[in-house]
Amino acid sequence: MTALSGVRVLDISQVLAGPYAAMLLADLGADVIKVEAPGHGDHSRQMAPRVADNVSGAYLAVNRNKRGVAIDLKDERGRGLLHRLAETSDIVIENFRPGVAARLGIDYATLSALNPRLIHCSISGFGQSGPYAPRGGFDLVAQGMAGLMSVTGEPGGPPVKCGVPITDLGSGLFATYGILAALAARERTGRGQQVDTSLFETGLGLGVWEAVEYFHTGATSQPTGSAHRLGAPYQAFRCLDGHFTVGADGDRHWPRFCEVIGRPDLPGDPRFGTNADRLANLPDLVEQIEAQTSTRTRDEWLERLEAAGVPAGPINTVPEALSDPHTRARNMVVDVEHDTLGPLKALGPVVKLSETPAEVRTAAPGLGQHTDEVFGQLGVDADTIDGLRRDAVVA
């Protein structure tokens, strides 16, 4: 048994935020049908890295556990097929610019009239309302406009975006949260609803510390590098062979950290006695700490800090993180079989459920791989599907 057994999702989205949300639902057991345009399919199919000449790693990353159909939604016959699918589905996910779904006849008003229990999720750059609604959605732009880039990077340095597409992935997570809430509400009301979220609002929502600083002090947050704006020491420190991280801003860990680095006098220094003191004198604090940490290797410090119960860790590369024994023990790297490429590595499910666990069952589908299967299950006969294929309405 899976958590979302019997739930059908139509994924009419592209690239990242929408497909990521749909993949999370698929991992939990939902029957996710990915709907793409004949010919080119999801834009991510053309993106790097290339796993093979005609296979994109970007596409594989967020489309596992799905069945794939290819439909031309600009053709009335294609829209008719999509409407038939919507009548038997629980959830639709799309990430067109506001207005495009309505022109294609796949918006909430149209589809909910066919299926009042349908939950329709729209992910866009700026939401379905407001002055910026017509604008396109790009992670970089959203990070900038939501204030995230203004607080990322080193003090006094140029604007820096987060190293991962945080508003794209975050929007996928928030969309999943909204969809599951709507599913729970439907159990009580019997009705579906529209779920509306955006990259911009995700960026604002993730800036929770920065917002509270402004709301309550009037201060505008600035970049802090690897440091925390509310606690110190809580950052990366230089050592003999690189850097490592330390979280010793609490009253319990701060004196222990000082003992480990051979500076038990620092907590008694009036500049560093309280967390507020340490934040106010952070450059001096870092100078004092790094004078000590730069004398030994990362592994030496991590061993000593672990023994003392002080939170600390290495700064791993992506390969180091993926090969870490804890990563493997938590099943965060799994094997999945691709129809043409054979076994591939993939990230495992992040959330572990004891009774209805998520799992990686199948690799991402080829373009239109399940067109015959899906529409056959709807009762569309083979001759009709063949005729639609000849007219490029399906592929």
Same domain, 371 and 310: no
Domain count, the chain: 2
From 315, 346, 367, the end of a domain falls on 315
- One-letter amino acid identity for 51? V
Same domain, 37 and 94: yes
pLDDT per residue as tens digits for the range 332-347: 999 999 999 999 999 9
From 290, 315, 340, the end of a domain falls on 315
Give the separation between CA 353 and CA 347, rounded to whole angstroms.
16
Give the separation between CA 385 and CA 388, rounded to whole angstroms.
5
Give the pLDDT score at 98: 96
Least confident of 51-55, 145-149, 245-249: 51-55
Same domain, 283 and 138: no
Q: Does 1 map to a domain?
A: no
Q: Does 323 map to a domain?
A: no
**What six digits make up the tokens of 256?**
């222990």
Same domain, 342 and 309: no
- Neighbour tally for 365: CB within 10 Å: 25
Same domain, 60 and 163: yes
Same domain, 202 and 296: no
From 268, 289, 315, the end of a domain falls on 315
**What six digits make up the tokens of 312?**
């600390």
Give the separation between CA 280 and CA 284, rounded to whole angstroms.
9
DSSP state of 194: E
Strand pairing class (312-314; 242-247) = antiparallel
Strand pairing class (119-124; 194-198) = parallel
**What six digits make up the tokens of 265?**
């006098």
Give the pLDDT score at 52: 84
Same domain, 40 and 182: yes
> Once rounded to an integer, what is the mean pLDDT over residues 68-78?
97
Give the pLDDT score at 328: 97
Residue 109, Cβ density class (10 Å: 0-12 exposed, 13-18 middle, ≥19 buried): exposed
Same domain, 75 and 104: yes
Same domain, 239 and 201: no
Main-chain phi, psi angles of 110, to 5 degrees: -70, -50
Supply the CATH number for residue 15's domain: 3.40.50.10540
**How does DSSP assign 347-384, residue by residue?**
EPPSS--SSS-----SPPPPTTTTHHHHHHHTT--HHH
Catalytic residues: 168
Q: What is the mean pLDDT of the chain?
A: 97
Q: Does 59 map to a domain?
A: yes
Give the pLDDT score at 271: 97
Nearest-10 Cα torsion for 78, 80, 84, 87: 120
Q: Does 258 map to a domain?
A: yes
pTM score, whole prediction: 0.95
**368 neighbors 69 (Cβ within 8 angstroms):** yes
Same domain, 75 and 117: yes
Same domain, 175 and 302: no
**What six digits make up the tokens of 358?**
């998520």
Supply the CATH number for residue 279's domain: 3.30.1540.10
Residue 384 has pLDDT above 90, yes or no: yes
Residue 93 has pLDDT above 90, yes or no: yes
Range of the domain at 261: 234-315
Q: Does 17 map to a domain?
A: yes
Same domain, 107 and 244: no
